[in-house]
Amino acid sequence: MKISNEFGLPNLDLDNDAYFSQLRQKDFSRLDQEGHTYLDYTGGNLYGESQLKAHFKFLSEGVFGNPHSINPTSMRSSEKVDETRAAVLDFFNAKEDYICVFTANASSALKIVGECYPFGDEGHFLLLADNHNSVNGIWKYCELAGGSFEYAPIRTDNLGIDSISLEEKLASQPDKRNKLFAYPAQSNVSGKKHSLDWISKANKQNWDVLLDAAAFVPTNKLDLGVYKPDFVSVSFYKIFGYPTGMGCLLIHKNKFHKLTKRWFAGGTVKLVTVGSPNYYLTEGHERFEDGTLNYLDIPAIKIGLDYIQEIGLQRINQRVKETISYLLEQLKDLKHTNGQALVRIFGPDNIDERGGTVIFNVFDPSGKVYPYFEIEEYAANEMISIRAGCFCNPGIDEANYCISNEELSNYFINRDEDELFDMIELLHSLRGAIRASVGFITNRTDIDKLVKFLLSFKDKNKTSNPTRKKAHAVL
Ligand SMILES: Cc1ncc(COP(=O)(O)O)c(C=O)c1O
């Protein structure tokens, strides 16, 4: 745990309000100078100016060459990459048991698992319906390899795991040799934190577990000394904003051998010959790091981790919880004069089960929903950055709108158009929602601005009439 104050951040003795207000002034003043209300932290976190200064100082004071050589500039880069790798493992308390592979983002980390997991050898892939498309897409690798796959459903009332069904599915493949279960530690859509206890439950029944931690780790401690998934995917910009284009795959050392790399590239081989087409792959993380590493940006990951640790992950967690609670309270109270709810929130009721993310829809006084794209557009006019749509996670949306598997299959049989609006028309059901997500630097003024914006729809009747089925809404 870092306790030095190398970024000159506010005094740690301050209470949360004072601390984050000073931090915002010091490192995020561009938000207020430019009049932004940024509420898309699950999309991407914001970086503090101190991170940039530290990285530019590092770059401007050093000479760094391409790693993989013993020349001095190359060695310098390798040292910094090694240092950062150790810092990442340390951050997740994973030094003993895990290998850290640097990737371009969480999606590339997930792709490695998809490409290399032995689905073809009596393989089965079980995935939660609440997954990002970068996890969903892995079923295609499974199918191509000849494995079987299925989804574990989520509950339509609170968007949590349907525990009975998941228990059944975990018990249902006793004879399969290579079973992979994938779920997100936190939903990128509903903000629902799914219990990490599913990791050991699945492991005990011989499942390997792929934990997509991309939406969880920016505001929660993932202690891999306690919870031990076999594979973990992370995108660093979601934790500290800068640099983009960097993520990692953490592989449990016991499962490293299970991933079969299907080709070789520069940097991944110990020996390769042309005259006789043979090669030997390297034994460690290098095996999955194709070509030249992003050796100038990787040191900025260490800076980002130091920055987060200097603020304190616990403080961040607490702050985000306070802020999202404040937002939820405000949203719950928004009503039209006739008593109709202006906003309906989806997802867990219990604040302890929710990260800093909320999805909702906006309704007019007669109960007609405003299309999400209209709200997003109006918000953009007010310099409010919220996100709308299905957020690369169609399972949540299908649950929210009670769209059956049969309806979806019929759509694909009867239609060959390939876009959402076509599907909306055919299913007679609007899709999508609006997502607001908060970060440690979000303050009450940001929330009040969003609420004021939503209140501008109070008592206003919608003129157009998009088709809609009854959506499950909670809170
Ligand atoms: C839970 C989750 N998994 C995976 C991803 C994919 O991350 P990236 O686009 O950085 O690869 C995201 C991005 O929003 C996410 O929230």
Q: Average pLDDT for consecutive 10-residue bins of the chain (475 residues)?
A: 74 96 98 98 98 98 96 98 98 98 98 98 95 98 97 94 98 95 97 98 98 98 98 98 98 98 95 96 96 98 98 98 97 96 93 95 94 94 95 86 82 73 73 94 98 97 56 36
Map out the domains of the chain as residue ranges. 61-307, 315-455
The residue type of 102 is F
What distances in angstroms separate CA 104 from CA 247, 294, 299, one per listed residue? 5, 9, 14
pLDDT for 408 equals: 83
In sequence order, the 6+-apart residues with CB closer than 8 A to the CB of 461 are 364, 365, 366
The residue type of 250 is L
In sequence order, the 6+-apart residues with CB closer than 8 A to the CB of 334 are 341, 342, 343, 451, 454, 455, 458
Site to probe by mutation for ligand 1, drawn from 103, 159, 392 as the one with most ligand atoms within 8 Å of Cβ, is 392
pLDDT for 416 equals: 65
pLDDT for 421 equals: 73
Query: What is the Å distance from ligand 1's center to 395 Cα?
Result: 15
pLDDT for 418 equals: 66
Residue 101 is encoded by which pair of tokens?
């592979």
142 is catalytic: no
**DSSP helix, strand, coil percent of the chain (3-state; round to 5):** 40, 20, 45
Cα torsion at 116, 117, 118, 120 (round to 10°)? -90
Residue 131 is encoded by which pair of tokens?
């997954």
Is residue 106 within 6 Å of ligand 1 at its C-beta?
A: yes
The residue type of 458 is K
Q: How far apart are CA 40 and CA 27, in angstroms?
A: 18
Count of other CB atoms within 10 angstroms of residue 467: 11
In sequence order, the 6+-apart residues with CB closer than 8 A to the CB of 274 are none
Is residue 159 within 6 Å of ligand 1 at its C-beta?
A: no
Query: What is the Å distance from ligand 1's center to 123 Cα?
Result: 25
Query: CB-based burial of residue 299 (10 Å sphere; 0-12 exposed, 13-18 middle, 19+ buried)?
Result: buried
Q: How far apart are CA 112 and CA 208, in angstroms?
A: 15
pLDDT for 4 equals: 57
By three-state DSSP, how is residue 454 classified? helix
Residue closest via CA to ligand 1's atom 7 equals 106
The CATH T-level fold of domain 61-307 is Aspartate Aminotransferase; domain 2 (3.40.640)
Residue 443 is encoded by which pair of tokens?
């303050």
Axis crossing angle, helix 313-332 with helix 298-311, rounded to the nearest 10:
70
Is residue 330 within 6 Å of ligand 1 at its C-beta?
A: no
Q: How far apart are CA 105 and CA 102, in angstroms?
A: 8
Is it true that domain 315-455 has CATH number 3.90.1150.10? Answer: yes
Write down the catalytic residue from 100, 116, 392, 402.
392
Query: What is the Å distance from ligand 1's center to 113 Cα?
Result: 15
By three-state DSSP, how is residue 408 classified? helix
Cα Rg of the chain, angstroms: 23
Is residue 185 within 6 Å of ligand 1 at its C-beta?
A: no
Contact 260, 288 (CB under 8 A): no
Is residue 178 within 6 Å of ligand 1 at its C-beta?
A: no
Query: Tokens 């499942």 label which residue?
Result: 207
Q: Region of 97 please: left (phi>0), alpha (psi -120 to 50) or beta.
A: alpha
Cα torsion at 456, 460, 461, 462 (round to 10°)? -20
pLDDT for 135 equals: 98
pLDDT for 414 equals: 76
